[in-house]
Homo-oligomer: A and B are copies of this chain.
């Protein structure tokens, strides 16, 4: 058995949280001073564990085990502004602790560890993992890197070496807590569609312009927004989610008919065909909106395809969970993770542990210590089963 050290695990997590510490959370965006200091500390800690560690030009911290073949365990140590102390840091320190335990106890199992850069998208979402997988837009990345002084050759996925990717993460939602479970096995990461809808009308005096003569961009968007919310609710599968998170009218005065209005609509699901149907419905609704007075336009601003996780690897994690006395919940991830990119190249699986109150991307984010320790033991047991 790979015998992890709970106290060392928690101490390393606390130490990592001291970089960019902000109250109970961290403020450690990619390439900030706190982020780079944290990465230098991680590199050092990996070396102390017996890994050949280095930071590449994108900021990825990659530690290689001495073995010729290995499982890759990782996540990201950058945070959103004013973020939580666990988030991606959890998966990185799990990797460090399991790799360290393997070497320490001369296990047959071997683990490479990685902390990817800028998963949160301060500059380029998934910058590090995209470089690692060879799918990065190098031109866009060059602009991000200019003048940062990082020059190590890019760390790269090695299909002759790596045979599985495991990523642990806090759930970032309330489902485990609501279900009374301590472990989640991720079946896949949802696809995301995001659109911006704009309405062009005409600013007019809201006292003197008869209702029938108005070109009210705001009213057009309220009517359309209501239809979208109703239709999406009718079309949705059990786990589909959607959100109108941005809604603006201009010029934005009580006595002026809105000339311009815009909103952003986002929706997520594991089923690409359902996302396509929802997208088509949006197009129909927009084409029928405005009553001939307001011109509406729809623009797709983001499209990420669903990323199913490897089912066999997921079963291995589930069995590892049961071996620790916990029945996991099989669930989708509604948020993106580094595993979303790497799963297209390598069999990948994710383990979730509960978020207290479902809180995430906030300094109030937290998880019970017992759950943190359990998650690491389960992941270690899964690594052992993969030998």
Contacts and interface: CB of A to CB of B under 8 A. Distances in A.
Interface of A: 171-175, 178, 190, 192, 194, 204-211, 213, 216, 218-219, 222-223, 225-226, 229, 233, 236, 239-249, 252-258, 261, 264, 266, 268, 301-302, 333-336, 358, 360-361
Contact of A173 (B208, B248, B252, B268): B208
Contacts of A252: 245-248
Contacts of A192: 207
A8 B361 CA distance: 69
A173 B245 contact: no
B226 A222 contact: yes
Contact of A206 (B209, B219, B243): B243
Contact of A205 (B172, B229, B233, B248): B172
Contact of A245 (B218, B243, B248): B218
B248 A208 contact: no
A253 B244 contact: no
Given A248-B248, A333-B208, A243 B266 contact: no
A210 B247 contact: no
B244 A222 contact: yes
Contact of A222 (B174, B222, B254, B301): B222
Contact of A208 (B172, B236, B266): B172
Contacts of A213: 174, 178, 358
11 contacts: A174-B210, A190-B207, A205-B334, A211-B241, A218-B247, A222-B229, A225-B226, A243-B255, A245-B254, A247-B247, A254-B266
**Shortest beta-carbon contacts, A-B, top 3:** A173-B208, A207-B334, A206-B243
Nearest to A302: B254
Contacts of A266: 206, 254-255
Contacts of A255: 243, 245, 266
A174 B209 contact: yes
B194 A254 contact: yes
A209 B245 contact: no
Contact of A241 (B207, B223, B244, B268): B207
A241 B190 CA distance: 45
A172 B205 CA distance: 8
Contacts of A226: 222-223, 225-226
B210 A175 contact: yes
A353 to B, nearest CB: 14
A253 B246 contact: yes
Contacts of A253: 245-246
Contacts of A242: 206, 211
Given A205-B358, A219-B244, 12 more contacts: A172-B205, A172-B207, A178-B213, A190-B207, A206-B242, A207-B335, A211-B240, A211-B242, A243-B254, A245-B252, A254-B266, A254-B302
Contacts of A222: 222, 225-226, 229, 244, 247
A272 to B, nearest CB: 16
A218 B244 CA distance: 7
A367 to B, nearest CB: 14
A213 B205 CA distance: 40
Contacts of A302: 254
A59 to B, nearest CB: 23
Considering residues A173, A207, A334, A336, which has the most beta carbons from chain B within 10 angstroms of its beta carbon? Answer: A207
Contacts of A223: 226, 229
Contact of A210 (B218, B239, B244, B258): B239
A203 to B, nearest CB: 8
